[in-house]
């Protein structure tokens, strides 16, 4: 038998109408008084009332069901959005039970990063990944759960045993009635390596400058040797430095001229020759015989070090280097350096130390004549200049290394430095401030090393979370550079280069003169270069459009004097202005710019 299928709201309204109709008809028949027509009239009124109220009931139920369906639809959309954000995000993400430390959910990026499948990760505790003790892990989770702290720095291990430095952003969320920690993991190992490299270059520069100053201050050979070895240990952070004089007879041991840092008496037991015996096989003997710098980057596994290995290891030495010192075309002395770390003395470090050794050779064996002193003084000043150039060349090399991570903006930092220097000259900045501006411009995006390359090279619009990560790069860059002892306020300039004069910038929302002039210059140069440069995801603006954009934001986002100087430079030939300033073409900062 055919049954009519009705939706719930129609069925309820229909049932109400039938019951009301039956009730009205029955009661009118049972209790009707008067003639039949009067009874029919009363029944019709009742039926009309029942029909109207049934329809109103239908509308109310329909509204209720519509609202309920809308809520369900919005809930389904929210779940779908969350699933897409969580599962498809390029950064590793975990949902963690803060009470037991169990990983409840992990996205594909987490599985790729850690090397375990999602199923395996969800069977693990966060303590199996975090190298902190279990008590320390639960203490940090409690801080995140109570929102006392949401940003953490940890060391996490991967399935292959490798460890990575990570920063974790963790916030409590309510999901299915359970309070969980939603954690985003950012791999910052490269950032830490960059910090180490910057610190090492800074130490190298300080040791070079201190050594040159020592050479300048002293006139006698012993004073120069003592001051240089002291500077290399105290400023360069080498474990030990010593200088030995080479005898004419290769079988006679090298005589000690000066030493610094030999706290364990290593040199008291040392005997080095430059003949064909075992005592001539180390870096020092080879440097004398070959006339070239020699290294042992891993003393523990260097066969040529077997005569002195145990004594060196007991003294805490793990790598060493030897530099021949020449006079009248022959090796007359050797500068020896030792480090407490393996794999030190890379090619770049050896290059600058070899230059120092050349200057030291001339200083140790110079004549007493005034003419010779004047010549040596000039060479010392040149050495100081080379030391300064060494820092800037290292900065440029680091800048190029950072740009490799983002092929869309390769060369951006160098071009910004180019334009910023031109604006600075136009505004009358001193040579020292121009040097600071150049270094800051070359490193202004160093903070992007903490941003995953997937976000940097993303061709489409960034999500809010991704943009918030991008906005952190000025502050991250400032933190990295704050640890380097520049003679200029490089870290502050970099940290303020996204501030705007009306206070709408980031990260601190500084206003007007609160922002350093160098930062205001860097801001305009950065924006101008970005606007006129082509990107794979959009064409560059024309020069006039870019200039109009800057002019429209004078005293809103950008300093009026800086904007006017920038536009003047661009309209008069752009970057070619750098060759028209009257500065020498081999100026120290221009050498960093191709």
| Distance, first Cα to last Cα, the chain | 90
On the question of pLDDT at 392 being above 70, the answer is no
279 band by pLDDT with thresholds 50, 70 and 90 = confident
Beta strands across the sheet bearing 151-157: 103-106, 93-96, 178-187, 163-175, 151-157
Instruction: Please give the pLDDT value at position 583.
Output: 36
pLDDT for the residue numbered 424: 95
- 511, β-bridge pairs: 502
Counted residue by residue, the chain has a size of: 594
Contact present, 483 and 194 (Cβ < 8 Å): no
Q: Which residues pair with 183 in a beta bridge?
A: 94, 170
Is the pLDDT at 577 greater than 50? The verdict is no
Query: What are 242's strand-pairing partners?
Result: 259, 336
Contact call for residues 529 and 416 (beta carbons, < 8 A): yes
Q: What is the pTM of this model?
A: 0.44
Give the residue, 382 or 466, on which the prediction is more confident.
466
Helix, strand, or coil (residue 104): strand
Average pLDDT estimate for 111-140: 92
Output the CA–CA distances (angstroms, integers) from residue 423 to 110, 456, 495, in the order listed.
45, 28, 19
- Please say whether the structural domain 89-187 has been given the CATH code 3.30.450.20: yes
pLDDT (tens digit, 9 = 90+) per residue, 205-256?
A: 888 888 888 888 887 888 889 999 999 998 888 999 999 999 999 999 999 9
If you average pLDDT over every residue of the chain, what do you get?
A: 82
Q: How confident is the model at residue 381 (pLDDT cuts 50, 70, 90)?
A: confident
Q: Which two tokens stand for residue 515?
A: 């922002």
26 compared with 364, residue with greater pLDDT: 364
CA distance 439 to 481: 11
Of 241, 311, 245, the residue nearest 274 (C-alpha): 245
Mean pLDDT for the stretch of residues 73-78:
71
Closest CA to 527 of 384, 357, 412, 434: 412
The answer to whether residue 343 scores a pLDDT higher than 80 is: yes
C-alpha torsion sign, points 12, 14, 17, 22: negative
Which positions ≥6 away from 153 have C-beta within 8 Å?
A: 165, 166, 167, 168, 188
Query: Does the pLDDT of residue 310 top 80, yes or no?
Result: yes
Rounded CA-CA distance 272/286 in Å is 11
Is the confidence at residue 505, as pLDDT, over 80?
Answer: yes
pLDDT at residue 458, rounded to an integer: 74
C-beta separation of 208 from 347 below 8 A: no
Instruction: Please check the confidence at residue 501 and state whether its pLDDT lies above 50.
Output: yes
How many Cα neighbours within 13 Å face the side chain of 55? 5
Average pLDDT over residues 257-282: 88
* Nearest residue to 501 (alpha-carbon basis) of 517, 479, 490: 517
**Three-state DSSP state, 88:** helix
The predicted-structure confidence for 433-465, as pLDDT tens digits, reads as follows 998 999 899 888 888 888 887 777 777 777 888
Question: Taking the CB of residue 49, how many other CB atoms lie within 10 A of it?
Answer: 12
Number of H helices, E strands in the chain: 20, 10
- Looking at residue 400, its pLDDT comes to 61
Cβ burial 216-235 (10 Å sphere, 16+ → b, else e)? bebeebeebbbbbbbbbbeb
- Grade residue 33 by pLDDT with cuts at 50, 70 and 90: low
pLDDT for 29: 65
Predicted confidence at residue 249, as pLDDT, reads 93
More confident call, 427 vs 264: 427
- Residue 268 confidence (pLDDT): 86
**In the chain, how long is the greatest CA-to-CA distance?**
150
CA 493 to CA 474: how far, in whole Å?
Answer: 9
Find where tokens 């990560």 sit. Answer: 469
Q: Which residues pair with 167 in a beta bridge?
A: 153, 186
- How much of the chain exceeds pLDDT 70, in percent? 85
Q: Which element (helix H / strand E) includes 339?
A: strand 330-339
Torsion of CA 253, 258, 261, 267, to 10 degrees: 20
The gap from C-alpha 341 to its chain's centroid, in whole angstroms, comes to 24
- Residues facing 165 on adjacent strands: 155
Beta sheet of 294-296, edge-to-edge order? 255-260, 240-245, 330-339, 319-327, 294-296
Q: Is 87 exposed, middle or buried (0-12, 13-18, 19+ CB in 10 A)?
A: middle
Instruction: Give the pLDDT score at 79.
Output: 64
Q: What does the pLDDT average to over 484-495?
A: 87
Kind plus residue range of the DSSP H or E element containing 180: strand 178-187
Q: Domain 404-592 maps to which CATH number in 1.20.58.60, 2.60.120.370, 3.30.450.20, 1.10.3210.10?
A: 1.10.3210.10
Asked if residue 592 has pLDDT above 60, the reply is no
Is the four-CA dihedral 142, 144, 148, 149 of positive or negative sign? Answer: positive
For residue 515, give the DSSP letter.
Answer: S
The Cβ of residue 131 has, within 10 Å, a number of other Cβ atoms equal to: 12
pLDDT value of position 398: 63
E strand residue ranges, 205-316: 240-245, 255-260, 294-296
Q: Do residues 214 and 254 lie in contact, with contact meaning Cβ atoms separated by under 8 Å? A: no
pLDDT of residue 39: 66
Query: What pLDDT was estimated at residue 158?
Result: 94
pLDDT at 396: 61
Q: Report the pLDDT value the prediction gives residue 153, as an integer from 0 to 100.
A: 92
* β-pairing verdict for 178-187 and 93-96: antiparallel
Range with lowest mean pLDDT among 81-95, 108-122, 282-296 = 81-95
> Which pLDDT does position 327 carry in this prediction?
86
The two three-digit tokens of residue 524, written as one number: 């305009």
Across 351-405, where does the E strand assignment appear?
Answer: none
pLDDT for 365: 75
- The CATH number for 192-387, chosen from 3.30.450.40, 3.40.50.300, 3.90.870.10, 3.40.1350.10, is 3.30.450.40
User: Residue 564 pairs with which residues in a beta bridge?
Assistant: none
Distance between CA 553 and CA 546 in Å, rounded? 11
114 with 129: CB under 8 angstroms? yes
CA–CA dist 47, 20 (Å, integer): 8
Least confident of 42-56, 182-196, 416-430: 42-56
Do 192-387 and 89-187 have the same topology in CATH?
yes
- Of 8-22, 113-127, 265-279, 316-330, the one with minimum mean pLDDT is 8-22
Question: Is 70 exceeded by the pLDDT of residue 389?
Answer: no
Tell me the sheet residues that pair with 173: 180
Confidence of residue 369 (pLDDT cuts 50, 70, 90): very low
Whether 95 and 112 have beta carbons less than 8 Å apart is answered as no
State the pLDDT confidence band at 579, using cuts at 50, 70 and 90: very low
Helix (H, G, I), strand (E, B) or coil at 103: strand
The domain limits of the chain are 8-85, 89-187, 192-387, 404-592
């Amino acid at each position: 038998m055919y049954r009519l299928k009705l939706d719930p709201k129609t069925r309820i309204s229909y049932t109400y109408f039938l019951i009301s109709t039956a009730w009205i008809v029955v009661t009118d028949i049972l209790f009707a008084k008067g003639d039949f027509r009067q009874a029919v009239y009363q029944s019709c009124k009742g039926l009309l009332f029942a029909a109207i109220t049934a329809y109103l009931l239908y509308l109310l139920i329909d509204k209720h069901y519509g609202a309920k369906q809308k809520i369900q639809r919005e809930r389904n959309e929210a779940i779908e959005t969350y699933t897409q954000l969580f599962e498809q995000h390029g950064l590793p993400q975990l949902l963690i039970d803060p009470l037991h430390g169990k990983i409840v959910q992990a996205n594909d990026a987490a599985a790729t990063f850690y090397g375990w499948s999602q199923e395996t990760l969800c069977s693990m505790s966060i303590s199996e990944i975090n190298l902190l003790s279990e008590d320390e892990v639960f203490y940090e989770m409690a801080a995140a759960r109570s929102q006392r702290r949401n940003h953490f720095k940890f060391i996490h291990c991967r399935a292959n045993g490798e460890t990575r430095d990570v920063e974790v952003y963790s916030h409590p969320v309510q999901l299915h009635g359970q309070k969980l920690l939603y954690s985003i993991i950012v791999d910052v190992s490269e950032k830490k390596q960059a910090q180490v490299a910057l610190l090492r270059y800074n130490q190298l520069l300080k040791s070079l400058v201190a050594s040159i100053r020592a050479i300048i201050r002293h006139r006698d050979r012993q004073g120069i040797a003592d001051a240089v070895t002291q500077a290399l240990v105290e400023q360069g952070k080498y474990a030990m430095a010593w200088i030995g004089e080479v005898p004419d007879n290769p079988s006679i041991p090298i005589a000690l001229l000066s030493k610094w840092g030999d706290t364990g008496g290593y040199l008291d037991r040392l005997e080095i020759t430059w003949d064909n015996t075992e005592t001539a096989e180390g870096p020092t003997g080879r440097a004398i015989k070959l006339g070239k710098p020699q290294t042992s980057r891993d003393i523990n596994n260097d066969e040529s070090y077997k005569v002195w290995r145990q004594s060196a290891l007991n003294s805490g030495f793990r790598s060493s280097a030897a530099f021949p010192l020449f006079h009248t075309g022959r090796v007359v002395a050797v500068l020896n350096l030792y480090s407490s770390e393996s794999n030190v003395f890379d090619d770049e470090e050896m290059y600058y130390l070899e230059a120092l050794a050349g200057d030291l050779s001339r200083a140790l064996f110079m004549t007493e004549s005034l003419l010779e002193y004047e010549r040596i003084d000039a060479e010392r000043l040149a050495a100081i200049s080379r030391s300064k150039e060494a820092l800037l060349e290292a900065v440029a090399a680091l800048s190029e290394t950072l740009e490799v991570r983002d092929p869309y903006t390769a060369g951006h930092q160098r071009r910004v430095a180019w334009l910023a220097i031109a604006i600075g000259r136009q505004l009358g900045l001193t040579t020292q401030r121009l040097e600071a501006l150049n270094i800051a411009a070359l490193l202004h995006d160093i903070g992007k090393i903490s941003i995953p390359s997937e976000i940097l090279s993303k061709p489409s619009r960034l999500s809010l979370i991704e943009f918030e990560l991008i906005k952190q790069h000025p502050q991250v860059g400032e933190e990295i550079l704050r640890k380097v002892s520049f003679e200029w306020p490089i870290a502050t300039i970099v940290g303020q280069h996204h501030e705007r004069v009306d206070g709408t910038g980031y990260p601190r929302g500084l206003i007007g003169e609160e922002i350093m002039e160098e930062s205001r210059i860097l801001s305009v140069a950065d924006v101008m270069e970005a606007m006129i440069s082509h990107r794979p995801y959009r064409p560059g603006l024309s020069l006039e459009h870019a200039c109009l954009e800057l002019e429209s934001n004078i005293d809103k986002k950008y300093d009026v004097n800086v904007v006017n100087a920038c536009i003047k430079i661009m309209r008069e030939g752009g970057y070619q202005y750098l060759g028209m300033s009257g500065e020498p073409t081999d100026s120290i900062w221009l050498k960093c710019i191709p």
